[in-house]
Each structure stands twice: as structure tokens, then as C-alpha cells.
Structure 1
Amino acid sequence: MHNNIMAAGSRDRPPMLATGRYAQWRSRFLRYIDTRPNGDALRKCILEGPYTPSTVIIPAVPATENSPAVPERTTVETILNMSPENKAHFESEKEAIHLLLTGIGDEIYSTVDACKTAHEMWEAIERLQQGESLNIQDVKTNLFWEFGKFTSHDGETMESYYTRFYKMMNEMIRNNLTVATMQVNVQFLQQLQPEWSRFVTIVKQQHKLDEVSYHKLFDILKQYQKEVNEIRAERIAKNANPLALVAAALPHQDPYYQAPKSYNSYAPTLKASLQTRSHATARHKGKEIAKPITPPSESASKEDSDPEQA
């Protein structure tokens, strides 16, 4: 598109200055000037400045029989007494101004039009475009940085990711930035979220990244969007309920590590045990109460009267 703008009307009018294309425009403009019948004079007006009439010295004329002597004098040069070369230079100034104003856009027209000569206009255009070149270099640097840091967002669809990547690549092309196909494809694939890794591997196995475009990669990967959504949903569910992962693993663990029973499961057994123990204690206590108690003195007398002890 820029080349079309610059070449538009190149046979009948000078090429148009496009943003960021000053070096090309300068060369084309001077080549166009050379095709004009008064090309040399136009070049002098643009590159050197307008022709300034000089002071001409008219030599003295000696007296003759028919006329008196005329002393040496000076006069300002005019169209009538200019040399053909100087006359062409002088008369080409207005045409040079017209051609320059015809070849620039509205964004700098007012600044350039304020200049008085074609040469001043030429220098103003160069000065303005050099400043713009610095800005363009900043834009290129930022675009390269954006390309290197480009990545997909968590939960982003393949279509959304591709659209953002496509816009960035178009912006780089518009600013005359070229990146190898292999590098573009690698950047496109490796910046996808982890749930795409399985399908990215499939693509790498089936296609040569230095021969296929990232548009084709998008067409292939978008077919796996449903599977990616399922993987993503499963991951979100596990992150939202960590115990679900533990519960899913329990049936496969050793019984020793299984979760203990609740306290309520022990309540009936404990209650029955306490009741049994209480009844047993009562029975033993009943027997102990029914057993006669022998005084110590009587026990000692029985031992003394026992023949076996003797």
C-alpha cells in the first residue's frame, strides 16, 4: 500500500511522502525531478536554494567621434541580462515549491508551507522526518518486546489468542519488521497455557514449523478446544475442592491409612461395655458383702488349735 501511495501519479506528479518512508521518498522525488525538462534548475533550487540576482559590472566605454565616453558602472542582474543557465535557475523556484507541497501529506503541510524557499522546505521535511524516524524506531523496539513477551491468558480460547497474535503480527508487518516463519510459529505454540501442551506436541510431530504458517496451526489447534475446556474444568474443580483428590485416592491406599470411623460409631459398643462392667461390679460387691468377716482374734485362735500347724 505504501508503495502504491508513493508511486501514485508518478508520471504526472511527484511521489507522495508516506509515514516512515522518507529515505525512499527522497530518492524517488529527486529521480522524478531529473525527468523534468528543467531538472538541473529544479535540483539547484531544492538542494542549493533559489538563484539570487547578482550585481553586474558594466565596463567603461571609451568616447568615439559620435558618442561621449561612458564610465564603468554597476547594475542589478535582471531576466533580460541573465545567462540562460541562471535564468532557468531563477524561474524554477516557484515550480520547485509547488512540487514539494504536492508531494507531502496534510500532517506536515502547514509547517513546510511556512518556509519561504524550496530549499528551506526540503530541509524542513528532512528534519521532521528524522524526528519521526526516531519515534518509529521506538515503535519497532516496543513491537519486538511485545512479540517476545506475548503469551496466552488463563482460560483464553484459541480464537481469542489467535486474534491478538494476528493483530500484533500485522502491526509488525506495517512497520516493516520481519520475523522468520520458524520463530513466529515457535512463539505462537510455546506461549499457550499448559492444558494445550498435549495438542501442541501433536502439531509439532505432524508439521514442519519452518514450512507452515501460524494461521494453519490455528486451524488445527482450534479443533481441540472442547478437550482443552474439559481439562481446564477438571483442573478448576480439583483446585476448588482439594479433598476430592484425597477421597479419590483413598480406595487405592493401605487400610491402615484409611480415615478412622466417627466417634458415634463407637458409642453403642462403649455404652454396652460400661453396662456389662457395672453389672459385674455389682455382682462382685454382692458376694463380698455376703461373705462373713472373721475377727483377727478368732483367726489367730484357729491357727493355734490347728493340729497340722502344730
Structure 2
Amino acid sequence: MAAPPIFQEGASLTRPPFFNGKYYGWWKNRMMNFIIAKNYDLWNVVMDGPIIPTKLGPKGRLELTPENKIALQNNAKAKNILICGLGPDEYNRISSCSTAKEIWDTLQTAHAGMSQMKKCKIDYLNRKYELFRMKDGETIQEMHSRFTSIINEMNSLGESLPSGKAVRKFFSVLPNSWESKVEAITEACDLDSEEENMELTTRMFQEMLSKGR
């Protein structure tokens, strides 16, 4: 469970921990402890929801028992704590929820589920990257396009690879006929260098691809 490197919001005994869409697992545990410390009955409402009549008679809320009213009040308190701990984007996500349980479940589905899906996708792309090979009948250009697509997908999920590592990986699966070209690039450029030399490497490689050499 990763924690943010620096945090200011929510470091208080009276103010709920703040959630801005990042580090959900860290926030979730802190919010749970915060609510329980306030009143354990509030945490029960978050987990199980308020137990109140779903249908009222002609007199409406006047028919509520004292126990119903306490349940509704605890739901309102728990909702208020959760809402006060959310940034604008997260509030928009739960604004239509009527109970504290609905808010909690919505956040759990959105962030815990999303994190698991993201991890599975990253694992899948890492396997594709590690097992990447040239297909039968595939041109160098097609192979390069397929490889670039994998790298771009990984980058979009925050799984960035060092440029030099990615270039070396691609070079390692090129056919033997490309050995002299690979040697020319590696001798001309330092694959472990920063942006300028890596840009030069990329330009040289793309030029070779375009010329089909």
C-alpha cells in the first residue's frame, strides 16, 4: 500500500484525511481509522448502511421511530465525514449517493477495481515486451510499429522504460542481416545517455527503417 511522498491535507485529529484520486489504499485505511475513532456506530453505517423503513406511510418522516432517526443521523454524519475528505473530482463521482455505504462502495469500485485492472494490464504488457519477437513474414517496419505500440501503452499506464533499454530490446530481436546496422548505431551513440544522444539514436534508426536498409 503506497503512501504519498509528501502530504499536508488530512494530517489532523479533527479534519478527515483528504483524497484527491491518488493513493486510494493509503487514504482508505486512514479514513476507516478516522471514522472509527469518531464513533464506531458510524463505521457500521458505512459498512452496512442505515437500517430504516424503505417505505413510509402518509405521515412520512413523522412515522420514524427514535431508532430510525438515530440511524439516519449516523448516516448523515458518516456521509459528511466522507464528503469532507474528498476533492472536487471525487465528489462528482459520488454526488448522487444517498448513503455513506453507497459512497464507500462507489469509491472502492472505482479505485480498488481500477488499480487491479491496471496492474493486470501492466503485467500483460510486460509479458508481451519480454516475449517480443519478429513474426513470420513481418517487415522491419511492421515489427517496429508493433513494438512501439507496446512501449506507448506501457508509458500511458505509468510503466515507463528507459529509452536505452527499449532500444537494446528491439535490437536484440532483429534478424541477423541487421547486425552491421545495429553495430553502426551502437558505436555512433551512447544508448545510456540522456535526451540528445537518444534522440540521435532514434533518428538514425528511423532513417534506416524508412530506407529499408
Q: Which TM-score applies when normalising by structure 2?
A: 0.53
Counterpart of 2:140 in 1: which secondary structure?
coil
Cα 1:142/1:164, change in 2 over 3 Å = same
Equivalent of 2:175, from 162, 185, 193? 193
Runs of 5+ in structure 1 lacking a partner? Answer: 1-13, 35-39, 53-75, 83-87, 230-310
CA contact (8 A) 2:78 2:100 kept: yes
Residue 173 of structure 1, CA deviation: 2.0
Does residue 170 in structure 1 map to residue 152 in structure 2?
Answer: yes
Distance in 2 between the 1:44 and 1:175 partners?
38
Counterparts of residues 1-310 of structure 1 (less than 5 Å): 16-17=20-21, 22-23=24-25, 26=27, 47=43, 49=45, 92-93=77-78, 95-96=80-81, 103-104=89-90, 113=96, 116-127=98-109, 129-152=111-134, 154-157=138-141, 161-211=143-193, 215-225=199-209, 228-229=212-213
Secondary structure of the residue aligned to 2:192 is coil
Structure 2: gaps (5+ residues): 1-17, 51-65
Deviations 1:203-241 (A, max 9, x none): 122222222566542211233347644xxxxxxxxxxxx
Deviation at 1:121, TM superposition (A): 2.4
Please provide the CA RMSD for this pair.
4.6
Question: Identity of counterpart residues, as a percentage?
Answer: 14
Q: Larger relative CO (CA 8 A, sep 6+): 1 or 2? A: 2
- In 1, Cα distance between equivalents of 2:87 and 2:123: 32
Q: Give the SS at the match of 2:112.
A: helix
- Preserved CA contact (<8 Å) 1:151 1:191: yes
Aligned equivalents of 2:78 and 2:91: distance in 1?
A: 21
Q: Secondary structure at the match of 1:104?
A: helix
Q: How many residues are paired up?
A: 168
* Match in the other structure for 2:3: none
Give the Å deviation of 1:172.
0.9
